[in-house]
Amino acid sequence: MQIQETKKTIFSGIQPSGILTIGNYLGALRNWVQLQEEYNTYYCIVDMHAITVRQDPSVLKKRCLELLALYIACGLDPEKNTMYFQSHVSAHAELGWLLNCNAYMGELSRMTQFKDKSAKQGNNIGAGLLTYPVLMAADILLFNTDLVPIGSDQKQHLELARDLAERFNNVYGQTFTVPEPYIGKSGARIMSLQEPNKKMSKSDENVNAFISMVDPADVVMKKMKRAVTDSGSGIIYSPDKPGISNLIDIYASCKGVTPKEVEKEFEGAGYGTFKEAVGTAVAEILTPIQQKQKELLSDKAYLEKIFTEGADKARYTANRTLWKAQKRMGLAPRKL
Ligand code: TYM
């Protein structure tokens, strides 16, 4: 695959730490697919991020491959996108270290996700949880990334990546491109179906709170019907109707329309009818993706070819940036 230097660069990644939800799809993956034609894209399976909390090794191994198959099943063309496992390109960890030496404890301990996750861990909080956003910054900066398509929960981490890039450039000379976030107009923050003031998350203990990417159509329907709605009636998009607004957002992103258009389409309809329509819209997207993912997983040799070639290509570009950063910091230079 030729690197098309004229195109701007995108980098993004997803952790293989659990079964993905429609939040991951609507907030990230769907936008990646749309952006693949216009950009030079790196879509990584960030396995080293997943191990910041303890994983069962055999489950993690399986999930990594499933996630690669999901990327392709969602519509990412292996001919057009570089897809690989983060741990296969050691430059991620190496640049992570250089950036760690330029990051401050204060800014890392202020990260919302660190505060949330460490509160759940009790006394033994892994150091990786604290330095995780620095590794994420390294992921992005290695490729001189222009744009990072993410859901809004990752915006704070992207801000940190920008700060680290600017700080490094100021101290050691121009080295990194300062990346911009790309956050979709709809679906950027899909909320829990049971507690609509909380983000939909794959780690939620209540399985009715999320729709996973592998839920069959009947389960999607059941979960949608059980979704918490608000008092009153009417399909209205408003901050005082978080439950129904979340469903409107899901429907709008599935159909590629605006919340206003959804309100209009369902004017006069009851919650029951609307929930059924949302369930159908979600299942229509998920069913073909699930079929395709299953097919792909039956051809391990094909998947292996994709992640091996992806890592080879990513390694080449990543090493060039890493070596430049090492040289700037005064480490003995090597030939590019
Ligand atoms: P992760 O694995 O938690 O989530 C992957 C992507 O899905 C988005 N997302 C959501 N979007 C909308 N609604 C939701 N409920 C929802 N839940 C998750 C996330 O915003 C994300 O875009 N740190 C990252 C992974 C990462 C990364 C990177 C991303 C590592 N390095 C470099 C971009 C660039 C993470 O944990 O995402």
- DSSP 8-class letter at 194: S
Q: Which of 199, 223, 241, 275 is catalytic?
A: 199
pLDDT, one tens digit per residue, over 20-75 is 999 999 999 999 999 999 999 999 999 999 999 999 999 999 999 999 999 999 99
Tell me the angle at which helices 271-297 and 57-73 cross, rounded to the nearest 10 degrees: 110
Q: What is the pLDDT at residue 5?
A: 62
Indicate whether residue 196 lines ligand 1 (CB < 6 A). Answer: no
pLDDT at 124: 84
pLDDT of 263: 97
Ligand 1 lined by 117 (C-beta under 6 Å): no
**Each residue of 197-224: b (16+ CB within 10 Å) or e?**
eebbbbebeeebbbbbbebeeebbbebb
- Count Cβ atoms within 10 A of the Cβ of residue 163 and give its class: 0-12 exposed, 13-18 middle, 19 or more buried: middle
What's the distance, CA 75 to chain centroid? Answer: 15
Shortest CA distance to 331 belongs to which of 102, 175, 131, 98? Answer: 98
Residue 233 is predicted with a pLDDT of: 87
- 113 CB near ligand 1 (under 6 Å): no
Residue 125 and residue 241: Cα distance in Å, rounded? 37
Domains along the chain with CATH numbers: 9-188+299-329 (3.40.50.620), 207-294 (1.10.240.10)
pTM for this prediction:
0.96
d(CA 28, CA 148): 10
Closest residue by CA, ligand 1 atom 16: 23
Contacting residues for 313 by C-beta, under 8 A, at least 6 apart: 1, 3, 82, 84
Name the residue of 9, 14, 159, 198 whose CB sits within 8 Å of the most ligand 1 atoms, as the mutation to test its pocket. Answer: 14
**Pocket flag, ligand 1, residue 46 (CB < 6 Å):** yes
In the DSSP assignment, the letter for residue 212 is: B
Cβ of 151 below 6 Å from ligand 1 = yes
* CA 255/CA 253 separation, integer angstroms: 5
What residue ranges of the chain have pLDDT lower than 50?
4
Question: Are 249 and 190 in contact, with CB atoms under 8 Å apart?
Answer: yes
pLDDT of residue 3: 52
Look at residue 202 in the predicted model and tell me its pLDDT: 85
Active site residue 275: no
27 Cα to the center of ligand 1, angstroms: 8
User: Per the residue annotation, which of 8, 155, 202, 327 is the catalytic one?
Assistant: 202
**115 noted as active-site residue:** no
